[in-house]
Amino acid sequence: MRSDITKKGIERIPHRALLHATGLSRKDLDRPFIGVATSFTDLIPGHVGMRDLERYIERGICYGGGAPFFFGVPGICDGIAMGHLGMCYPLALREIVADTIETVCNAHSLDGIICLTNCDKITPGMLMGVARLNIPAIIVTAGPMISGRWNKRKLAFVHDTFEAVAKAKKGEISPEELVCLEMEACPGAGSCQGLYTANTMACLTETMGMSLPGSGTALAISAKKRRIAQASGERVVELVRKNITPSMIITKESLENAVTVDMALGGSSNTVLHLMAIAHEAGVKLDLKTFDKISKTTPHITNIEPAGEHFMEDIEFSGGIPAVLKRLKGKLNNTLTSSGKKIFEIADEARIYDEEVIRPFSKAYHKEGGIAVLFGNLAPEGAVVKQSAVNPKMMKFNGKARIFNREEEAMQAILNNKIKSGDVVVIRYEGPAGGPGMREMLAPTAAIVGSGLADSVALITDGRFSGGTKGPCIGHISPEAASRGPIAVLKDGDLITIDIPNRKIEVKLSKQEIEKRFKSWKPVEPKIKTGYLARYSRMVKSADKGAIVE
């Protein structure tokens, strides 16, 4: 076993002494050493229930004949970090998580690992870490939150809190309702109820084969989730004994499966960054054109919050990701999963319980998948939009630029009714390096929706969007402003054309005019000059490369 380097031979007497000090018996030294990377924290609703799941993972590892070792991984709640300096940190956290997994597992020569995760950047960070390590691994996602309730109406976090801000400013929500929304929109443990980044990544992790079947949608409060946690603990020991590693599971074919399911679900645009970063760690080439190619041939067959009326609980009760795989089988590769089963076997065993929630292709919500990739003189290296959340009449849009160099400036303009129909809100210097950390723009996009402007105002940014964003919002504009992207020299009143069906985003400026403007352009001062974010800003790559750090 890999861990023998720390526990076998006469020269390891000191090492064994330290291991015995943790409570290990001599018999335990003959067992596979299994790390459990847990991101439990009291700060994140999606993670507060993990203490319970830790018990079941531990039980499963012991049943399987392994010795479990728990260690902590930091976590951030994107919703709480949203709209202020805190949002500079979540994407940068992804690298810390991956580095933590690598560091602890290699320093202690662990034989295998279970990663207990749930929310936005922690799940991809753990996948990046295990891909880099390439020791037997399983990901356990802690599960979606159930919907809230008010006055016989289902509540969802983004729709009923972020979008409520602008409505409250306009006096459209009573104080009684506002207090109730605050108290009831998030009724307990779990990742927020729609296809935001956390739940999208959980579904794609299962699709890739790095979680056991059912893990992606099993609710946080369910006994099913406990059983999956225990089964994952048992199974990872078997993976160690059979030496089945992530490199056998995270392949070009399984990543293409993940992209296909992403497009069919209409998931978060953040997955573009994350899947490319995971692919990079796995040594697999995955680029923006792959996403767009798959999107053009994959119907959008579910309609989940924030774009639709269904919730993650509806996907779960309709058969979960196995049911989605069943529907998409003809478009998937038959890849290996951590369960030992191949994707086609999982699909064949599945049942679709609700044909309205997981629709047949003939009744798809859209002919194309959830995400489109745009190119043009405003985004020479690409930009990303969640097209499944765009009103059909806004798929093509012409408007005048309103320029903001920070999210907060744009937010104030929206809330103070300074944004009008026909405007294109431009938020720049919010990219991976310029942000730093490529902040999510959920607050301004939700404010636009709440102000009733979703059908007449577009937003573009070199930052990114939450999975909760809806409307004509184009992010990941590359190159970013801080890297001399054309977005850096836009001016108020410039005419911008967005053409999602034809995958174009253009500013009505000649190449000569853009070059002329750059002659007088000066880069802005870094917003953060010390600490981790300053280092991150210097090392991070462009969004079209997955915002990886090398």
| Residue 376 confidence (pLDDT) above 80 | yes
- Express as a percent the part of the chain with pLDDT over 70: 100
Tokens for 35, please give them. Answer: 């790390």
In a domain, 489, yes or no: yes
Task: Summarize pLDDT for 384-419 with one digit per residue, the tens.
Answer: 999 998 999 999 999 999 999 999 999 999 999 999
Region 517-544: mean pLDDT is 94
> pLDDT value at position 523?
86
Region 458-475: mean pLDDT is 88
Tokens for 409, please give them. Answer: 């400036």
In a domain, 524, yes or no: yes
CATH of the domain at 262: 3.40.50.2300
- Indicate if 451 and 525 belong to the same structural domain: yes
- Indicate if 332 and 404 belong to the same structural domain: no
In a domain, 254, yes or no: yes
**Highest-scoring range by mean pLDDT, 73-82, 122-131, 298-307:** 122-131
Domain enclosing residue 506, as ranges: 377-545
> pLDDT value at position 470?
75
In a domain, 357, yes or no: no
Confidence (pTM): 0.95
Using 50, 70 and 90 to split pLDDT, how confident is the model at 11? very high
Region 527-541: mean pLDDT is 95
In a domain, 234, yes or no: yes
- Indicate if 398 and 491 belong to the same structural domain: yes
In a domain, 369, yes or no: no
> pLDDT value at position 414?
94
- Indicate if 511 and 485 belong to the same structural domain: yes
Region 244-273: mean pLDDT is 97
Whose structure tokens read 């994407």? 91
H-helix or E-strand spanning residue 87: none
349, 369, 387 - which closes a domain: 349
In a domain, 339, yes or no: yes
- Indicate if 418 and 450 belong to the same structural domain: yes
| Residue 166 confidence (pLDDT) above 80 | no
Collapsing DSSP to helix, strand or coil, 494 comes out as: coil
Cβ count near 431 (within 10 Å): 31
- Indicate if 181 and 204 belong to the same structural domain: no
> pLDDT value at position 501?
96
- Indicate if 198 and 294 belong to the same structural domain: yes
Average pLDDT, the chain: 95
Cβ count near 245 (within 10 Å): 18
- Indicate if 441 and 516 belong to the same structural domain: yes
- Which DSSP letter does residue 421 get? T
Using 50, 70 and 90 to split pLDDT, how confident is the model at 160? confident
Please count the structural domains in the chain: 3
> pLDDT value at position 449?
86
Region 5-15: mean pLDDT is 96
349, 368, 403 - which closes a domain: 349
- Indicate if 325 and 391 belong to the same structural domain: no
Using 50, 70 and 90 to split pLDDT, how confident is the model at 255? very high
Region 116-141: mean pLDDT is 98
- Indicate if 536 and 486 belong to the same structural domain: yes
- Indicate if 343 and 430 belong to the same structural domain: no
| Residue 174 confidence (pLDDT) above 90 | no
Cα first-last separation, the chain: 30
Using 50, 70 and 90 to split pLDDT, how confident is the model at 151? confident
Task: Summarize pLDDT for 221-246 with one digit per residue, the tens.
Answer: 999 999 999 999 999 999 999 999 99
Catalytic one among 338, 466, 483, 537?
466
In a domain, 399, yes or no: yes
Type of residue found at 166:
A
Using 50, 70 and 90 to split pLDDT, how confident is the model at 442? confident
Cβ count near 406 (within 10 Å): 16
- Indicate if 220 and 329 belong to the same structural domain: yes
Specify whether 451 is catalytic: no
CATH of the domain at 488: 3.50.30.80
